[in-house]
Each structure stands twice: as structure tokens, then as C-alpha cells.
């Protein structure tokens, strides 16, 4: 998931925003401060944020974990008043001179890349879409990164109606949408993997079967799926591929990995190993956010996809919100209200 450039034009007005200036634990580095309100550049939309969804990317940034993230160009660096947060839902407050597709007052949602944990965020117009008409700001803010990554996982896996899909991490931010999207797009069978406390929720989202990983090993089910959506990497690829059909695809969205490379390490390993086995490994990257979001909007409005919110926190309780997400055991999404 790409982030946007970090240079932001600002005004003399101020706004409340979550900021951090060094890497560390949320209680040590995250602060809520008054900082200058951003100005939209020509291709931007300025959004009055009403709710913001939290994602593992947010803590990867402020923790500087994995270490690779600290040197990657274009991602969040520790610096004075560095902002935080990607997913948002809110109202258009202003538009840049080149923007024709949005008007002040429109309800929108999308991915900022950086800075959505604030009262205002300036976002390139190609990273947002009109909000579904049948959801609240909180529900909309829970959607963008998880649902876009879930859709991108199905695309990376060259998913077609009639295929069977297994999703590891089915109760997480990506998983809840992967289950629903696979069903909505015609999967013959969807199996979700999660722990006992989330089994009922994943069933409710439409999974045909759920594997409780505390009781059962999904690599020993004796079933073979066309597509494996990996969000946790709790087992190595060479074991997980036992759950894949001979020509099946392992869509690697995230999870696993060490302090240095994070998921990049196992992802690279799986890609190299796939040269020696019949199954394909497909790294998941999302392109065309606005088009993907528009497809997801249609499915939400048709009642086929919905967000699941584990907890909401006001902006002032950002530390509690991020500690909750960092447990790695959320049931759906953590949302911040602004
Ligand atoms: N490729 C991309 O563009 C992209 C985009 C977004 C995110 N990501 C990455 O994808 C990963 C997942 O993101 P996310 O938003 O889904 O994370 P998340 O919401 O934090 O995932 C939490 C979920 O993981 C489940 N889980 C924990 N341990 C598990 C295990 N051993 N087996 C199966 N499920 C387990 C938990 O279920 P239980 O409580 O039931 O254990 C919980 O519901 C992260 O590493 C993230 O950085 C990649």
C-alpha cells in the first residue's frame, strides 16, 4: 500500500491532530497537538475528517518496525509533528483548482496515506470516493485499506466465480472483507481461519466453514483450495500450500517476518520457493484506489459487504486505540472518531 508524499501546504489556522517525532511505543511517542491545518494543492481534496480507521501500517510507522520501513523512500519518517493515519471518512471542506469530481459538503471516504488522525486531511482526489449512502462515518472509515487489500488479494489470486478460497486471519482488517468479497463475487466455498472467540463472527460474514486455529491445523484438513489469502503468515508457505490445489495461488497480503524486513522476508522466501512447486505465489499490492473503492461501495450499498467495528475511540484516546490494535487480535476494525 503506497503512501503519499509528506510535503503538505498549511494555513495559519490550526487543527487537532495525532503527531509523533520519534520511533517507539504508542504511550511514549504519540501526542495529540494543535498543528497548522493543511491546504489542498491543485489535485487535492481537503476533508473534514469525522472518523478514521486504524491499520497495522500506522503502528509499523511510529514503531519503525520492521526496520526496513525507516529507510524506505516515500513512507513515514520520524520528524517533528509527523502525522499519522490513513483511512478516513468525512465531508469535503475544500477542493484544489484541478478537482472537478467532488464538491464542498460531499461525504467521502478513502486512504490518505498519512494524516487522517486529525480534524482535516488533504488527499489526492484519486485516493477517495463518494461514501456509500447506507453507512455511518465510523462504518465507512473502517473500510478502505482492509477492503481494498482484500479485493487486491482476490485479483492477485486471479480469482474467478466458482473457485474455493481459504483466508488466514479471517477476523482481521483484511480478512473480514476477503470473506465477504469472495462470497459476493461467487466463490463456491469460503473457509476462514481465526481463533475461537471470532468463529461466530466469521460465520456471520458468510464463510461456509471456519477453522479455529487453536483447535485445528488448516494445513491438515485434507481439503485443497484454489486460492489462499494470507494475512498472518502463521505457518510457512511450504506448509500452507498443503491447503492449495495443484495449480492454486497463494496471495500474500501480509503477516509474519522478522524485525529487519517484516513480511517482506517471508514474502521473498515464498516467491523463491514457488519456483520449485506447482503453486503460484502472488504478492498483494493495490493499484487504482478510487476504482477499487467504487466497486466496494456498490457492494456495500447492495448489502453484500459491511464493516465490522471492534471498538471506537475518540481522537484523544489514540494511545488506547493503537494499543488495542497492536494486540493483533482485533475482531474487525478499530475506529477513531474525530
Ligand atoms: N499488502 C498490502 O497492501 C497490505 C495492506 C494492509 C495490510 N497489510 C498487512 O497485512 C497484515 C494483516 O493486516 P490486518 O489489517 O488484517 O491486521 P489485523 O486486523 O491486525 O489482524 C488481526 C487479526 O489477525 C488474526 N490472527 C492473529 N493471529 C492469528 C493466527 N495465528 N492465525 C490466524 N489469524 C490470526 C486475529 O484473529 P484472532 O484474534 O482470532 O487470533 C485478528 O482478528 C499486516 O501485516 C499488515 O501490515 C498489507
Separation of 72 CA from ligand 1 center, angstroms? 22
Atom of ligand 1 nearest to the CA of 286: 3
pLDDT for position 1: 58
What per-residue confidence (pLDDT) applies to 153? 98
Q: Which residues pair with 53 in a beta bridge?
A: 335
Ligand 1 centroid to residue 57 C-alpha, Å? 11
Residue pair 122/129 in contact by the 8 Å Cβ criterion: no
User: From the alpha carbon of 57, which atom of ligand 1 is closest?
Assistant: 47
φ, ψ at 141 (rounded to 5°): -65, -20
Specify the CATH class of 146-283 in words: alpha beta
- Ligand 1 centroid – CA 71 distance (Å): 24
pLDDT in tens, the chain (338 residues): 544 445 677 878 999 999 999 999 999 999 999 999 999 999 999 999 999 999 999 999 999 999 998 988 878 889 999 999 999 999 999 999 999 999 999 999 999 989 999 999 999 999 999 999 999 999 999 999 999 999 999 999 999 999 999 999 999 999 999 999 999 999 999 999 999 999 999 999 999 999 999 999 999 999 999 999 999 999 999 999 999 999 999 999 999 888 889 888 899 999 999 999 999 999 999 888 999 999 999 999 999 999 999 999 999 999 999 999 999 999 999 999 99
Residue 298 CB partners (closer than 8 Å, separation 6+):
none
> Which residue ranges does the chain devote to CATH 3.90.180.10?
10-143+307-337
CATH architecture of 10-143+307-337: Alpha-Beta Complex (3.90)
Contact 34, 16 (CB under 8 A): yes
Residue 193 Cβ < 6 Å to ligand 1: yes
Which atom of ligand 1 is least distant from the CA of 198? 40
Q: What does the block give as the cell for 21? A: 517525532
Asked if residue 171 has its Cβ within 6 Å of ligand 1, the reply is: yes
- In this prediction, residue 5 carries a pLDDT of 44
Instruction: Provide the pLDDT for residue 37.
Output: 96
Q: Which among 199, 244, 260 is positioned nearest to 252, based on CA atoms?
A: 244
Say yes or no: CB of residue 146 within 6 Å of ligand 1: yes
| Closest protein CA for atom 10 of ligand 1 | 254
Domain with CATH 3.40.50.720 in the chain: 146-283
How far CA 102 is from CA of 94, 98, 99, 106, 284, in Å, comes to 9, 11, 7, 7, 29
Q: How far away, in angstroms, is 289 Cα from ligand 1 center?
A: 20
pLDDT score recorded for residue 4 = 47
- Packed helices 289-301 and 144-156: angle between N→C axes, nearest 10 degrees: 100
C-alpha–C-alpha distance, residues 227 and 244, integer Å: 7
pLDDT for 254-290, tens place per residue?
A: 998 888 898 888 999 999 999 999 999 999 998 889 9
Distance 104 CA to ligand 1 centre (A): 35
Cβ 317 under 6 angstroms from ligand 1: no
- C-alpha 164/C-alpha 160 separation (Å) is 9
Amino acid at each position: 500500500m503506497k503512501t503519499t508524499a509528506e510535503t503538505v501546504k498549511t494555513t495559519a489556522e490550526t487543527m487537532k491532530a495525532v503527531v509523533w517525532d520519534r520511533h517507539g511505543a504508542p504511550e511514549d511517542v504519540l501526542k495529540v497537538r494543535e498543528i497548522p491545518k493543511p491546504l489542498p494543492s491543485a489535485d487535492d481534496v481537503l476533508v473534514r475528517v469525522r472518523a478514521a480507521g486504524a491499520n497495522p501500517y500506522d503502528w509499523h510507522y511510529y514503531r519503525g518496525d520492521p526496520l526496513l520501513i525507516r529507510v524506505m523512500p516515500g513512507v513515514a519518517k520520524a520528524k517533528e509533528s509527523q502525522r499519522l493515519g490513513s483511512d478516513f471518512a468525512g465531508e469535503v471542506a475544500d477542493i484544489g483548482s484541478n478537482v472537478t469530481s467532488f464538491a464542498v459538503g460531499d461525504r467521502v471516504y478513502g486512504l490518505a496515506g498519512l494524516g487522517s488522525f486529525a480534524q482535516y486531511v488533504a488527499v489526492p482526489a484519486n485516493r477517495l470516493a463518494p461514501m456509500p449512502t447506507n453507512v455511518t462515518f465510523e462504518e465507512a472509515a473502517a473500510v478502505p485499506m482492509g477492503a481494498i487489500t482484500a479485493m487486491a488479494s482476490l485479483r492477485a489470486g486471479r480469482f474467478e466465480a466458482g473457485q474455493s478460497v481459504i483466508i488466514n486471519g479471517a477476523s482481521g482488517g483484511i480478512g473480514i472483507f476477503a470473506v465477504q468479497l469472495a462470497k459476493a463475487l461467487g466463490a463456491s466455498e469460503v473457509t476462514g481461519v481465526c481463533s475461537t472467540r471470532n468463529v461466530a463472527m466469521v460465520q456471520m460474514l458468510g464463510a461456509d466453514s471456519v477453522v479455529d486455529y487453536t483447535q485445528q491445523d488448516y494445513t491438515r484438513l485434507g481439503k485443497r483450495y484454489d486460492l489462499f489469502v494470507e494475512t498472518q503468515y502463521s505457518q510457512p508457505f511450504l506448509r500452507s500450500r498443503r491447503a492449495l490445489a495443484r495449480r492454486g495461488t497463494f496471495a500474500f497480503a501480509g503477516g509474519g517476518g522478522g524485525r529487519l524486513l517484516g513480511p517482506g522476508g517471508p514474502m521473498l522466501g515464498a516467491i523463491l520457493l514457488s519456483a520449485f512447486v506447482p503453486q503460484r505465489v502472488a504478492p498483494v499490492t493495490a493499484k487504482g484506489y478510487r476504482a477499487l473503492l467504487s466497486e466496494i461501495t456498490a457492494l456495500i450499498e447492495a448489502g453484500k459487504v459491511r464493516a465490522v467495528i471492534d471498538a471506537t475511540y475518540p481522537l484523544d484516546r489514540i494511545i488506547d486505540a493503537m494499543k488495542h490494535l497492536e494486540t493483533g487480535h482485533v475482531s474487525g476494525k478499530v475506529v477513531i472518531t474525530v
